[in-house]
Amino acid sequence: MAITIRELAQALDAQGWGDLDLPVTGAAEPQATGPVGPGGGVIALAMSPKYAEALQPGSIAILAEGMDPQALGLKAAIFAPRPRLLMAGLTRAFDPGPDLAPGIHPTAVIDPSAQIGDGAAIGPFVVIGAGVRIGSGARIGPHVSIGRGSTLRDDVLIHAGARIAPGVTAGHRLIVQSGAVIGGDGFSFVTPEESGIEEIRRTLGARDEIKQQHWMRIHSLGGVEIGDDVEIGANATIDRGTIRATRVGHGTKIDNLVMLGHNVVVGDDCLLCSQVGIAGSSRVGNRVVLAGKVGVSDNIEIGDDVIAGGASKIFTRVPAGRVILGNPAVKMETQMEIQKAMRRLPRFAQQLAKLQETVTRLLEKG
Residue 327 has pLDDT above 90, yes or no: yes
pLDDT digits (tens, 9 = 90+) for 293-318: 999 999 999 999 999 999 999 999 99
Neighbours of 355 (CB within 10 A): 10
**Percentage of residues in the chain having pLDDT higher than 70:** 99
Local structure of 47: helix, strand or coil: coil
- Which element (helix H / strand E) includes 262? none
- Note the pLDDT of residue 37: 87
326-345 mean pLDDT: 94
pLDDT at 87: 79
Rounded to an integer, the average pLDDT of 107-131 is 97
Taking only the tens place, the pLDDT of each residue in 206-263 is 888 888 899 999 999 999 999 999 999 999 999 999 999 999 999 999 999 999 999 9
Residue 214 is a catalytic residue = no
Out of 159, 172, 214, 262, the active site residue is 262
Q: pLDDT of 135-168, one tens digit each?
A: 999 999 999 999 999 999 999 999 999 999 999 9
Determine if the peptide bond prior to 124 is cis (ω within 30°). Answer: no
| 193 pLDDT above the threshold of 80 | yes
Q: How confident is the model over 186-199, as a mean pLDDT?
A: 91
Strand 271-272 relative to strand 253-254, pairing: parallel
Mean pLDDT of the chain: 94
pLDDT tens for residues 34-70?
Answer: 999 888 899 999 988 898 999 999 999 999 989 999 9
Whether the predicted pLDDT of 84 surpasses 80 = no
Q: How far, in Å, CA of 316 to CA of 75, rounded?
A: 57
- Please give the C-alpha separations between residue 309 and each of 83, 146, 257, 352, 357, in angstroms, as whole numbers: 24, 35, 17, 34, 42
Listed range (85-99, 126-140, 339-353) with the worst mean pLDDT: 85-99
Is residue 67 within 8 Å of 74, Cβ to Cβ?
no
Task: Identify the pLDDT of residue 178.
Answer: 98
Per DSSP bridges, beta strands 151-152 and 133-134 are parallel
Residue 1 has pLDDT above 70, yes or no: no
Confidence bin at 134 (pLDDT 50/70/90): very high
